[in-house]
Amino acid sequence: MFQRLRAGWRLAKEVRQSVSKDKSMYIFPIASGLLGVFIFLFTMFMIFFAFPGSVSNSIDVLFIIAFFVASVVVMFTTTYFLLAMLIAYRSFNGGNPISFRTALSRTWEYKKYALEWAIFYTIIVSIIRAIESRIRGIAGILIGVIGSLTITIATFFAVPAILEEKVGPIKAIESSIHTIRKNFGMTFGGMAYVDLYTLIFILLGFFLIIGAIFIMGSLALPLILLLLIFAVGVILIVFGLILKFTYMNVLKLILYDYFNGKGLPEGFDENTINAAMKKKRRNKGMDLGDFN
């Protein structure tokens, strides 16, 4: 257990060090998040603005349509920027670093697959949420949890599969599940340790925000100090989410490439990955090839 824990933290450290070599990697989640929020609000507003006469008669239907369309657009944007980030990471580790704009330009050939994935993923999530909302009590909660967990596992390597194979959502999920079953069985092991590192910032920010709200109602501290504590909490949460998006998705790409025979990028140790991820043993070891 302790050996696996140490291996998990070493793996998290290797991911951080690898990503930190190219600071421009952090631009992608920041741009994706800001653009996603803007697009979501803009899409919702435009749909309601385009059908002003329908608002009083069919607000529920209009809201559902607006929310679905906005979700698809945001998911497409997120997937597009994620693919661009992975392309930039591959290029940097291959010895040919590219700019943020160049990465976005190279991602254009994946626009069809990103859109298909956005529509498919949004439909699946919407169906699960609809079923969950219809069933009350613990049963509804369990359906939501099981559904979310199933989607997370099934789509774990979906985006790297789209990047590598240029396939639609069904083929991407098949490739993801095949990679998981072939290499992990039923456990992901060290992924939790990489996620835990980013969770530290998110939880710290959350506690600062809760603390500021609690203090505001019980202690007579200057308002400016409370606002400062609140702002620091928000910044920590955003910072943690940026790291989580970057580290987890880069690690997924690294593992997907490694398990499909592409080797490991510089700075990663094969034994650490196998120990942290509880990877299935094979009769023949996998050689470390060039990371292209």
Q: Yes or no: say if 259 and 265 are a contact pair by the CB < 8 Å rule.
A: no
| Average of per-residue pLDDT across 193-207 | 85
Which of 47-61, 134-148, 166-180, 252-266 shows the lowest mean pLDDT across its residues? 47-61
pLDDT at residue 108 greater than cutoff 50: yes
Q: 73: which DSSP letter?
A: H
Per-residue confidence (pLDDT) for residue 260, from 0 to 100 = 84
Q: Yes or no: say if 8 and 189 are a contact pair by the CB < 8 Å rule.
A: yes
pLDDT at residue 287 greater than cutoff 50: no
Q: Count of CB atoms within 10 A of residue 103's CB?
A: 25
Give me the amino acid identity at 96: N
pLDDT at residue 83 greater than cutoff 60: yes
Per-residue confidence (pLDDT) for residue 134, from 0 to 100 = 78
Question: Domain extents for the chain?
Answer: 2-277
d(CA 86, CA 246) in angstroms, rounded, equals 9
* Total-model pTM: 0.83
d(CA 96, CA 1) in angstroms, rounded, equals 39
Q: Yes or no: say if 76 and 114 are a contact pair by the CB < 8 Å rule.
A: yes
Mean pLDDT of the chain: 82
Which of 77-81, 113-117, 251-255 shows the lowest mean pLDDT across its residues? 251-255
pLDDT at residue 217 greater than cutoff 50: yes
Which of 102-116, 146-160, 176-190, 272-286 shows the lowest mean pLDDT across its residues? 272-286
Phi, psi (rounded to 5 degrees) for 291: -95, 100
Rounded (5°) CA angle 12-84-120? 95
Q: 281: which DSSP letter?
A: P
On the CB side of 209, how many CA atoms lie within 13 Å of its CA? 13
Q: 266: which DSSP letter?
A: T
| Average of per-residue pLDDT across 160-177 | 93
pLDDT at residue 150 greater than cutoff 70: yes
Q: 23: which DSSP letter?
A: G
Q: For residues 36-53, b (16+ Cβ closer than 10 Å) or e, as one string?
A: beebbeebbeebeeeeee
Per-residue confidence (pLDDT) for residue 140, from 0 to 100 = 73
d(CA 72, CA 120) in angstroms, rounded, equals 9
| Average of per-residue pLDDT across 248-264 | 87
pLDDT at residue 266 greater than cutoff 70: yes
User: Looking up tokens 């990955």, which residue turns up?
Assistant: 273
pLDDT at residue 168 greater than cutoff 50: yes
Q: Yes or no: say if 205 and 240 are a contact pair by the CB < 8 Å rule.
A: yes
pLDDT-derived band at 292, boundaries 50, 70, 90: very low
pLDDT-derived band at 169, boundaries 50, 70, 90: very high
